[in-house]
Structure 1
Amino acid sequence: MHDAIDGARALRTVDYVQRYFRLPGNHGFDLAIDTVASLLRAAGYVREDSAPASARLVYRVESRPMANQAWTPLAASLTIGGRSTPVQQFSTNLNMIAINSGSTPEGGVTADVVDVGTGSDAEFAAATVTGRIVLSTGVARTVFPRAMKAGAIGVLNTQKLPAYNQQAKNTRAIQFTSVPRDSIRQGWLIFISTATHDSLRAALASATPTQPLRVKAEVRTLFETRPELTVVAEIRGRSRAAERFVYSAHVQEPGANDNASGVGALAEMARVAATLVRRGVSNPQRTVTFLWGDEIRSTDRFLKEDSVRRAGVKWGMSLDMVGENTELTGGSFLIEKMPDPSAVWVRGEDQHTEWGGKVLAEKDIRAHWFNDFVRQRCLDRARQTQWVVKANPFEGGSDHTPFLNAQIPAVLLWHFTDQYYHTDLDRIGMVSPKSLANVGACALSTGLLLADGSRSIVLAALEELTGVAERTIRAQAVLSADTLTRGGNAQTEAHILDTWRAYYIGAIDRIGEIAVGPVDLQAATERAKARVRAAK
């Protein structure tokens, strides 16, 4: 199954999906959903409502009414007065229209620009805003409603991006974000890049009271009443259909890596899994579920809407930003672990990313084997391909969190730090078919092995986990020894090692969860725990 994932095929799906700005219910989101459904049908999945009871490959498209209208950006441009070429346009800056913006009149609007700085009360009071276009470096969500209330036509806003976006280098980068929705004063806000900001500042510097800076802005968006769609595909388990391994990839967000890459990788995994089942190469005893929808919310609904279904979900995995060309983005492939001792004592190779994480309490630790099982599957792939595999302590923020909140073991597969994260420079050129193939292979291997749950898999997992535990405890002992040479507390360091040891002993006690049928593990687990207790 390692060689069956076709990264180039997955990349074609990513390329199509990343062309559209995707939010629940909008045109781009639904085109992605339609594409996934089409790929599933081509792979042999049958619509669930028309499939016979014996069908193993099924899918459904769930539809739910939305509380708010769907928002779709269509076009935008910004042109400095006296020039023929736009300084910024939607075709090259997909994130330039603030989410929830309305449209300009047909053909756009031309007006004077007034600079209100950060958009404070005093700065607004000192400026004549009515009938003009406001320029601001303030927080868009507060500047926008203030400008609309003051009678502005629209707003041009310069963002301050996080350090990892390298704004001084990536001068065309714009992050997507929203402004408050206002059905009464439906104005618009255009985010401007650093390059556009500099052009406007230069033009402002040469403006005079009699010849003020004027710009032409055109924004076209749609607000429509549309449903929110979710795709759920399943390979029904042969003997334990009520038990599930669930994959989730969110569709919304406009980037190529975030998260068209997850959509494309998961679609390719579903195709390969179907092929393996049809050919008799794989015969999962548990159900394997593939989920595409709105980040966190779709996964959360899957778990909460059906208590019986939720009871059968044994493991979860989120695929988010899985296709990165690391040479271009600067990111590393990471497995974000469910909370283990590394989330309490952050040290050694276990470091938080620049996205951000907090130190957890010891009570948050969950003794389990799943982190290491997933990592070993990725390392299996790495031994063949020289793929660099790393891990980070739990941080949250993607589709693994609903699983963990429901006390279901889950991890996130992703990349970070990415200099293009959440910006409109996250385009198809930043995606690697090799990364898609690597992540897809290890993710699918994990799910199919656990859905199989045979005795040989359980015993192999136990032996593997014991070896990982011994190596981890030895590595932690080296870190503790180094800390002590620098004045560390001996009692604290002993407690850290004891906690890691207890973590792995608890994980060994849970290894039997993999088994589909009865497997006598008592003697084997006692030997494994003895090895962990003896590790130094």
Structure 2
Amino acid sequence: MFATELTAQSAATPAPFAPITQAVHRDVNGDRAFTTVDFVQRRFRLPGNEGFDLAIDTVAALLRAAGYVNETEAKPTDRLVYRIESRDMPNEAWTPHDARITIAGRSTPLQTLAGNLNMIAINSVSTPPNGVTAELVDVGAGSDSAFKANTVAGRIVLSTGNARLVLPRAQRYGALGVLNTQTLPAYNQQGKHPRAIQFTGIARDTIRPGWVLFVSSVTRDSLQAALKQGAVQLHVLINTSFARRPERTLVAEIRGTTAPNERFVYSAHVQEPGANDNASGVGTLAEMARVAASLVQRGIAQPRRTLTFLWGDEIRSTDRYLKEDSTRRAGVKWGMSLDMVGENTALTGGTFLIEKMPDPSAVWVRGDDQHSEWGGKPIPENEIKAYWFNDFVRNRCLDRARTTKWVVKANPFEGGSDHTPFLNADIPAVLLWHFTDVFYHTDLDRIENVSATTLANVGACALTTGLLLTQGTPVIARAALEELTVTAQQALRTQAALSRDTLARGGNVQYEQHILNVWRDYYLAALDRVADIAVGPVDLRTALANAKRRVRAATVTLQ
């Protein structure tokens, strides 16, 4: 039995956490979040483009309805505020509007943008308004020799090669454009989902603009079958637009009463065209902001620190939030990224995960703490960040799991989302997400694979975490210290069982003892940081000394 299972069976919500926990669990509405996710996921989203801006404007409207006031109009006494930041972009924003591939003479298109949202390569230009009709030529991988062996001038080429390399080669030989097939990662199970297309793009070229359409396995097979019967005339229509538009970031805050310059910051990225990735983060964070506002307005929650909600471009917006204002950055106490948080796991295969900030499980990957298929590798021991945040967040999720049977797991640090700017700035942070998702980064990542129940589960544990830590009373700090002590004892027993199992299979006693000692030292150092929870001074000396004795006593000496 491993750490997650032990914690799920043994933990109980600390009494001082119960009022906030119960209020949040009652008020977070998965159906509301789902409605927002559905609206956002209908459009292809890139920084500055029409879909991205519509998502920003939609959430801003939800914030206003919840009582948030635009900072430009807010009074000093207003606690609920928001702003939309705009920044010039080096390139024009790209928006796809329509695309169709039809074999000439047939009434039904083989593929349309409505059915395959990712089919137009990012940065592709439009065809003439009525489209183009031309013969299709299969050039295989699209090598130079393949182009020389075929007449492609004035034609459309079908290729399996790298689209970024094939397009300029096709242009040199006079082709009108490229249809490209993709080989998807194994976790996408392309054989099982032959209509899937991953979103990707081509280089922006203002001198020789061109277009690439990605075709699914089904469309590729239909085209190749038609080619076997003779020459194929294709009609292709593409409608995209480029516009000089700003990149926008939405920031909402509930200002703290006592320490407003100290913050808990949530981040959900808007770009990427999927429903789970990441319209689910956008919708969940919007619902969290609504509930947080309601609890504050009703006097149920009184955050003494500021609670910040951020919607923008993945990694870049969060990184900028921390780097543009050194004073603001100094007050950021914790960060949390919501990315792919709405999965219907029965359909996607994805498991809910808390990606932890670097702890010993990122050095010694074993037991339940395994890397996801997204990818990860062991980190050096000196990169461990001894802190209590991983366990605090997981326990808040397990609070939810006790009544809902929600499956909560964790994975060692891997990086790649909005938690990394926080960690790079030495700010404790975690990622809430799901993986493996068979529809990851494909246009099958649509609303039917999103669960309102999951949205509510993730939103509840995420918001409870932030409200407790921004409230930051001494009684919350003391309860967190006791909870972490129990969690540490359970974790050390689990690690000891894993080491004994390794020894039974011929492992080295000294090495296994070192692992256990590192885990012990990790938790001892994490206990020292629990005082960070309190707004202002808190006397934990007696309780801390007792907690450390219990953790040391739980550390096994291997024989």
Q: Please classify the TM superposition score into its range, dividing by the shorter chain length.
A: over 0.9
What 5-or-longer segments of structure 2 have no aligned partner?
1-23
1:168-197 CA-to-partner distances (Å, cap 9, x unmatched) read 011110010011111111111000001001
Q: What SS class does the counterpart of residue 269 from structure 1 fall into?
A: helix
In the other structure, the counterpart of 2:32 is 9
C-alpha contact (below 8 Å) 1:248/1:291 kept by paired residues: yes
1:65 partnered with 2:88: yes
Q: What SS class does the counterpart of residue 49 from structure 1 fall into?
A: coil
| Shift, 1:332, TM fit | 0.6
| Shift, 1:485, TM fit | 1.1
| Shift, 1:70, TM fit | 0.1
Q: Find 1:315's aligned residue among 324, 328, 334.
A: 334
| Shift, 1:49, TM fit | 1.2
1:473 partnered with 2:492: yes
What TM-score, normalized to structure 2? 0.94
In the other structure, the counterpart of 2:17 is none
What TM-score, normalized to structure 1? 0.98
In the other structure, the counterpart of 1:288 is 307
Q: Distance in 1 between matches of 2:483 and 2:287?
A: 28
| Shift, 1:517, TM fit | 2.4
In the other structure, the counterpart of 1:367 is 386
Q: What SS class does the counterpart of residue 135 from structure 1 fall into?
A: strand
1:141 partnered with 2:164: yes
1:227 partnered with 2:243: no
C-alpha contact (below 8 Å) 1:75/1:90 kept by paired residues: yes
The one-letter amino acid paired with 1:299 is T
Q: Find 2:483's aligned residue among 459, 464, 469.
A: 464
In the other structure, the counterpart of 1:395 is 414
Q: Distance in 1 between matches of 2:147 and 2:525?
A: 60
| Shift, 1:533, TM fit | 1.1
1:415 partnered with 2:434: yes
Matches within 5 A, 1:206-217: 206-207=229-230, 212-217=231-236
| Higher deviation after alignment, 1-10 or 142-151 | 142-151
1:383-427 CA-to-partner distances (Å, cap 9, x unmatched) read 011111000011111100000000000000001111111111111
Aligned residues: 532
| Shift, 1:447, TM fit | 0.1
Q: Distance in 2 between matches of 1:30 and 1:288?
A: 23
| Shift, 1:488, TM fit | 1.2
Q: Distance in 2 between matches of 1:434 and 1:467?
A: 29
| Shift, 1:436, TM fit | 0.5
| Shift, 1:121, TM fit | 2.3
In the other structure, the counterpart of 1:160 is 183
In the other structure, the counterpart of 1:19 is 42
1:445-497 CA-to-partner distances (Å, cap 9, x unmatched) read 00000001101110111111111111111111111111111111112111111
Q: Distance in 1 between matches of 2:62 and 2:510?
A: 57
Matches within 5 A, 1:322-401: 322-401=341-420
In the other structure, the counterpart of 1:431 is 450
The one-letter amino acid paired with 2:472 is G
The one-letter amino acid paired with 2:430 is V
Q: Find 1:508's aligned residue among 527, 532, 540.
A: 527
| Shift, 1:148, TM fit | 2.0
The one-letter amino acid paired with 1:382 is A
1:325-374 CA-to-partner distances (Å, cap 9, x unmatched) read 11111111100000101111111100011111111111111000000000
The one-letter amino acid paired with 2:449 is M
**Identity percentage over the alignment?**
70
The one-letter amino acid paired with 1:147 is A
In the other structure, the counterpart of 1:258 is 277
Structure 1 consecutive aligned stretches of length 4 or more whose deviation exceeds 6 Å: none
Q: What SS class does the counterpart of residue 518 from structure 2 fall into?
A: helix
Q: Distance in 2 between matches of 1:2 and 1:46?
A: 25
C-alpha contact (below 8 Å) 1:145/1:180 kept by paired residues: no
1:22-59 CA-to-partner distances (Å, cap 9, x unmatched) read 00000000000000100000000000111001110000
| Higher deviation after alignment, 225-234 or 79-88 | 79-88
Q: Distance in 2 between matches of 1:339 and 1:126?
A: 54
C-alpha contact (below 8 Å) 1:96/1:176 kept by paired residues: yes
Q: CA RMSD in A?
A: 0.8
| Shift, 1:443, TM fit | 0.2
1:115-142 CA-to-partner distances (Å, cap 9, x unmatched) read 1111222222322222111111111121
In the other structure, the counterpart of 1:173 is 196
1:244 partnered with 2:267: no
